[in-house]
Amino acid sequence: MASTYGAARVLVASNRGPVSYTVSEDGSLDAKRGGGGLVSGLSAIGSDADALWVCSALSDGDREAVRRGVGADGVRMLDIPADVHADAYNGIANSVLWFVHHMLYQTPLEPVFDAEFRRQWASYEAYNRAFAEALAEEAAQGAAVVVQDYHLTLVPGMLRELRPDLRIGHFSHTPWAPPEYFRMLPDDVAGQVLRGMLGADRLGFLTERWAEAFTACAERFAGGLGGTRVGVHGLGADADFLRARSHEPDVEERMAALRQEIGEGRRTIVRVDRTELSKNIVRGLLAYRRLLETHAEWRERVVHVAFAYPSRQDLAVYRDYTAEVQRVADEINAEYGTPGWTPVVLHVKDDFARSLAAYRLADVALVNPIRDGMNLVAKEVPVVSDAGCALVLSREAGAHEELGEDAITVNPYDVTGTATALHEALSMRPEERAERSKRLAAAATALPPAQWFVDQLDALRG
Ligand code: G6P
């Protein structure tokens, strides 16, 4: 491939980009900017940095934008054939790599690595190659490239071959599987993933634990790290943004509506997640049911506000899980609800302003993932909650490394233990709760997104 050397000095590559398009009724394209750590990180390095974000076209609107040559400044969307993208994203990234790193497989039924898997793997390779080639075209001599996540594990190695002059980094937003679990992948595929990652100069992880797991896999299955450096950057919550955004009028409106749903004078246990197996929403609901069963004093006095936003709905396993969450919530409401009290207020329509409203009202935040790279909700609620919240936090969330001291720790599989933790959180004296919440917020915002990104870049260049 002939590289037409480009002008970009800092490049980010990720499956989901910072902007998405929809075709409106009159045929024009509407652009919507996303938020998140990377977006604010990139804006922090300024426009004169010649930054470019390479991402996938994900919607019909995105693909239309590529066709029309419409684009946001500093963004290049790749129009990867829809079937190739579906195999790579749904088939490999979200059904295999996500499941391996979050240890979600339930043997003996899963996984089965058969001919279908091999076909999807070929698409994953093609999809990674499309990114590597675009980055090779766009990058200026000696530019820094930061590749994001499990969707793009082969890119560093591929890009290294095309452009040995570049500084290549990769950052994982997920956990990394321990060797005993990682070796579930067919040997050649595991080897390709590790060699792809090790094509980077530097690999970033959210916690020591995930960095160590990667290093252990590299040592056991790829002869070690070679020249690749490994570092930890624990992405924090964006305090300034959250505090300002959570006091805008639309959030106040949603607070009023939520207060109506909750009812006067009741405590709230809040959770906000993408509906996704690793988040462990069903066991959270079972723990709440157990709380109502064993601590009758909380009946009528507490409401579980659960926002579970649909995610990856092309996949049956995610759809089934969404249905299961709804079913268990309905069951609890049927079992314990009274004319004036709905024990579980479940919302499934994604609404950021309403999430912030719930954060502000939270007495208790429940964050109980089976395994989670970081979990930013655990970091955001203490920053936003009006009166300070108690945090019930899974020991398997990356955030636990930073917040464990002031949270109430749970084993995510232990439903009765989680029920006890909820009781303890609800019973905490208001002063203690406020103090702990303040310390949680301080720890949660220690590394704001802009600094997180700049640190990675400095380490990559250093
Ligand atoms: C995880 C991944 C991110 C991803 C997000 C949303 O946090 O680490 O890379 O963007 O999930 O998932 P989605 O499949 O909707 O992009």
What spacing in Å lies between the alpha carbon of 70 and ligand 1's midpoint? Answer: 25
Distance 435 CA to ligand 1 centre (A): 33
- Quote the ligand 1 centre to 445 CA distance (angstroms): 21
Q: How far is the CA of 37 from the centre of ligand 1 (A)?
A: 12
Strand pairing of 29-33 and 19-23?
A: antiparallel
Q: Which residues does ligand 1 sit against, CB inside 6 Å?
A: 16, 149, 173-174, 311-312
State the Cα torsion 37-41-42-47 to the nearest 10°.
Answer: 140
Strand order in the sheet with 167-171: 75-78, 51-56, 8-13, 139-148, 167-171, 202-205, 229-232
Residue 90 near residue 98, CB atoms below 8 Å: no
Q: In sequence order, which residues have a C-beta less than 8 Å from that of residue 25 and are 6 or more positions away?
A: none
CA–CA dist 226, 229 (Å, integer): 8
Going by CA atoms, what residue is nearest to atom 2 of ligand 1? 173
State which ligand 1 atom lies nearest to the alpha carbon of 14. Answer: 9
Among 174, 205, 275, 313, the mutation site with the greatest number of ligand 1 atoms within 8 A of its Cβ is 174
341 Cα to the center of ligand 1, angstroms: 35
Q: Mind listing the pLDDT tens digit of every residue in the chain (462 residues)?
A: 333 458 899 999 999 999 999 999 999 999 998 877 677 777 777 665 689 999 999 999 999 999 999 888 899 999 999 999 999 999 999 999 999 999 999 877 789 999 999 999 999 999 999 999 999 999 999 999 999 999 999 999 999 999 999 999 999 999 999 999 999 999 999 999 999 999 999 999 999 999 999 999 999 999 999 999 999 999 999 999 999 999 999 999 999 999 999 999 999 999 999 999 999 999 999 999 999 999 999 999 999 999 999 999 999 999 999 999 999 999 999 999 999 999 999 999 999 999 999 999 999 999 999 999 999 999 999 999 999 999 999 999 999 999 999 999 999 999 999 999 999 999 999 999 999 999 999 999 999 999 999 999 999 998
CA 14–ligand 1 middle distance (angstroms): 10
**CA within 13 Å, CB half, 338:** 9
pTM of the model: 0.96
Under 8 Å CB-to-CB from 444, ≥6 apart: which residues? 236, 237, 378, 379, 380, 382, 383, 399, 402, 403
pLDDT value for 71: 84
Atom of ligand 1 nearest to the CA of 94: 14
Q: What is the pLDDT of residues 202-259, one digit of tens each?
A: 999 999 999 999 999 999 999 999 999 999 999 999 999 999 999 999 999 999 999 9
Residue among 378, 172, 196, 171 at smallest CA distance from 270: 378
Nearest CA to ligand 1 atom 8: 173
DSSP assignment of 190-252 equals HHHHHHHHHTSSEEEESSHHHHHHHHHHHHHHSSS-TT-EEEE------HHHHHHHTTSHHHH
**Three-class SS of residue 269?**
strand
What is the per-residue pLDDT for 387?
Answer: 96
Q: Which two tokens stand for residue 149?
A: 């996540």
| Whole-number Å distance between alpha carbons of 70 and 77 | 10
Interval between CA 266 and ligand 1 midpoint (Å): 34
Quote ipTM for the complex.
0.97
| Residue 48 pLDDT | 54
SS3 state of residue 44: helix
Q: Ligand 1: distance of its center to the CA of 9 in Å?
A: 25
What are the structure tokens assigned to 310, written together?
Answer: 């649909």
Residue with tokens 């793009």: 152
Residue 46: predicted pLDDT: 64
Give the pLDDT score at 106: 82
For atom 3 of ligand 1, which residue has the closest CA? 173
Q: Could you tell me the strand order of the sheet in which 364-367 lies?
A: 344-347, 302-309, 267-274, 364-367, 390-394, 408-410
Q: Residue 153 phi/psi, 5° resolution?
A: -70, -25
- Choose one of 12, 14, 15 to mutate for the ligand 1 pocket test, by most ligand atoms within 8 angstroms of C-beta: 15
Q: Which atom of ligand 1 is nearest to the CA of 173?
A: 8
What's the pLDDT score for residue 41?
A: 74
Nearest Cα residue to atom 10 of ligand 1 = 16
Q: What's the 184 CA to ligand 1 centre distance in angstroms?
A: 23
